[in-house]
Amino acid sequence: MASPGTKGLQRGYIVPIGGSEEKKREPVILEKFVKLCGGSSARLAIIPTASRLKETGQHYIDIFREIGVDDCVCLPIEKRTDSERKDYLHELNKASGIFVTGGNQLRLSTIMGGTSVAQAIRRRNADGVHFAGTSAGAAIIPEHMIAGGKSGPIPREGGVTFAPGLGLTNKIVVDQHFRQRDRLGRLLSAVAYNPFATGIGIDENTAAFIDPDGLLEVIGTGAITVVDPSELSHSSMGSEKRRTAINLTNIRLHLLTNGAKFDIHSRQVFL
């Protein structure tokens, strides 16, 4: 569950990115995130935990510096004890923006889950610090994180696996590299388990900028597939045999591109 935050402070944006965002030629997504965080005055904390590549953190520091942010720090959290380091917590408390890189989202949940760093991220976002995550960093944003599942267009019993996420919101469940990796079936499966949350499938080089009031704006060259289960009348998820296709009736689907908006509370689309 999202942190309640400090009374009188506005929540920060949450920005799930579908992965493979443009970093050099026209880094529109990263530039917009930097602008939110204060532009050249931004203080960014980069968490490369999901990646096993040692150079990932420095790579993003270089990218953000090219955009115009001098104050960037990498927090190379590689084991659970790192998630309790006071110097890392100090950096999070100074940051105006937190960025989590791609890789394997289970590294994020197993290394950071339930730690002081995870608690600090929730608290800081609730108090106005903006959070962006790409690929695995996007998947871990909600309370329920998609940890895996098979590709394909058809929802199936057992078609998706979950793990606890950061819990910055409980209103959505996020999948990434969406059309590039043919993940409609597993997002539909995720929503079918419990039609409380809206499914958000984000293409590569595309992001959902979700403001403090829950209004999502699509930014990027791809699309966001929104699976809205608010009028779902039937799901056979609870009665099907293992890995068989399931029935879903009266489910709504939107395909939204750059500039389109979606209210995650009212579930209205604005074009």
| 14-270 maps to CATH 3.40.50.880 | yes
Distances (CA, A) of 166 to 90, 230, 252, 257: 19, 24, 27, 26
pLDDT at 1 over 80: no
CA atoms within 13 A on the CB side of 129: 24
Confidence of residue 93 (pLDDT cuts 50, 70, 90): very high
Across the range 110-139, mean pLDDT stands at 98
- Residue 138: closest CA among 97, 171, 168: 168
* pLDDT tens figures, 137-163: 999 999 999 999 999 999 999 999 999
Domain edges within the chain: 14-270
- What pLDDT score was predicted for residue 203? 98
Rounded-to-integer distance, Cα 95 and Cα 101, Å = 16
By the 8 A CB rule, do 75 and 107 touch? no
Q: What DSSP string describes 68-123?
A: T--EEEE----SGGGGG-HHHHHHHHH-SEEEE--S-HHHHHHHHTTSHHHHHHHH
* pLDDT tens figures, 181-215: 999 999 999 999 989 999 999 999 999 999 999 99
For residue 148, list its beta bridge partners: 161
Across the range 256-269, mean pLDDT stands at 98
Among all residues, which ones are annotated catalytic?
135, 177, 204
By the 8 A CB rule, do 268 and 252 touch? no
H/E segment holding residue 254 = strand 252-257
Phi, psi angles (nearest 5°) of residue 197: -90, 150
Confidence of residue 7 (pLDDT cuts 50, 70, 90): confident
Taking each continuous run of H as one helix and of E as one strand, the counts in the chain are 7, 17
Across the range 80-96, mean pLDDT stands at 98
Across the range 102-107, mean pLDDT stands at 98
Could you tell me which residues come within 8 angstroms of residue 249 by beta carbon, excluding any fewer than 6 positions away?
A: 232, 233, 234
- What pLDDT score was predicted for residue 206? 98
- What pLDDT score was predicted for residue 4? 85
Across the range 38-47, mean pLDDT stands at 98
Token pair recorded at residue 270:
């604005």
pTM over 0.85, yes/no: yes
Rounded-to-integer distance, Cα 22 and Cα 205, Å = 6
* pLDDT tens figures, 58-70: 999 999 999 999 9
Q: What share of the chain is helix, strand, coil (3-state, %, to 5)?
A: 25, 30, 45
Rounded-to-integer distance, Cα 213 and Cα 186, Å = 28
Distances (CA, A) of 141 to 45, 90, 122: 16, 21, 10
* pLDDT tens figures, 211-242: 999 999 999 999 999 999 999 999 999 999 98
Rounded-to-integer distance, Cα 115 and Cα 47, Å = 14
Average pLDDT, the chain: 97
